[in-house]
Chains A and B, each alone.
Chain A
Amino acid sequence: SQTIHQWPATLVQPVGSPLSLECTVEGTSNPNLYWYRQAAGRGLQLLFYSVGIGQISSEVPQNLSASRPQDRQFILSSKKLLLSDSGFYLCAWSVESGTEAFFGQGTRLTVV
């Protein structure tokens, strides 16, 4: 069966520090991968999606970047965090046919 792992679950980082959130998927090949952010009391905002290794599409200009070094690994990064980067970050995957999407448990990021 397929599973998705996202870590860490919570993170408190000072302003200006770097960020690296990792997401890995097991049990499937060549999934579509997504990074979302959910600000407090708001809906999910698509940040990046990837249809293959090294292929990253950015939806919103921002302080973040994403990379896909391996087929089932998706990394969200920042060189210097801003206060506005605080939020709940979710990784998700779907098969190419798009009939289902599965989410990780999320990372609560607080920038102080």
Chain B
Amino acid sequence: KNQVEQSPQSLIILEGKNCTLQCNYTVSPFSNLRWYKQDTGRGPVSLTIMTFSENTKSNGRYTATLDADTKQSSLHITASQLSDSASYICVVTRRAAGNKLTFGGGTRVLVKP
């Protein structure tokens, strides 16, 4: 079954600290993996996208890694800011008709001053 599992479900960190979010998937055949940031009550916004041959991608203070062999990805947030408080969603696209997206349950991050 094609699934995407994220951990932890929620995370509280102090402003300025770093944190790492995990994503494990069983989606096959794999096309790409994306990390999205979703502010409360808004639609998700893409942070990074990685294909099979890419193992790291950065977007400002966000760095995503991908290990296609173990089917794991991580999102590292450096020097967190209050505006980083949001849900972070891992999305894997299956290389198949319709390019169906499979979403993880998300990790809710709360950055406290």
A residues whose Cβ falls under 8 Å from a Cβ of B: 6, 32, 34, 36, 42-46, 49, 51, 57, 88, 90, 92, 94, 96-106, 108
B-side contacts of A108, CB under 8 Å? 41
Tell whether B25 is near chain A: CB-to-CB under 8 Å: no
* Contacting pair B43 A104 (CB below 8 A): yes
* Contacting pair A98 B89 (CB below 8 A): no
Q: How large is the interface on B (under 10, 10 to 19, 20 to 34, 35 or more residues)?
A: 20 to 34
Chain B nearest CB, measured from A77 CB (Å): 20
* Given pairs A43-B105, A88-B41, 15 additional interface contacts (CB within 8 A): A34-B101, A36-B103, A42-B105, A43-B6, A43-B89, A51-B97, A94-B99, A98-B101, A101-B46, A103-B45, A104-B43, A105-B42, A106-B42, A106-B43, A108-B41
* Contacting pair A103 B44 (CB below 8 A): yes
Tell whether B65 is near chain A: CB-to-CB under 8 Å: no
Contact with A along B67-99 (1 / 0, CB 8 A): 000000000000000000000010101010111
Q: A32-B98, A98-B32 are in contact. Are A44 and B103 (CB under 8 A)?
A: yes
* Contacting pair A98 B31 (CB below 8 A): yes
* Contacting pair B105 A98 (CB below 8 A): no
User: In the complex the two chains form, what is the Cα distance from A6 to B98 in whole Å?
Assistant: 21
Chain A nearest CB, measured from B95 CB (Å): 8
A-side contacts of B91, CB under 8 Å? 101
User: In the complex the two chains form, what is the Cα distance from A43 to B34 in whole Å?
Assistant: 15
* Contacting pair B46 A94 (CB below 8 A): no
Q: Among the interface residues B6, B41, B45, B104, which one has the most CB atoms of the partner chain A within 10 A?
A: B41
User: In the complex the two chains form, what is the Cα distance from A61 to B4 in whole Å?
Assistant: 20
A-side contacts of B6, CB under 8 Å? 43
Name the contact of A106 in the complex, choosing from B41, B51, B93 (C-beta under 8 A).
Answer: B41
Nearest B residue to A97, CB-CB: B99
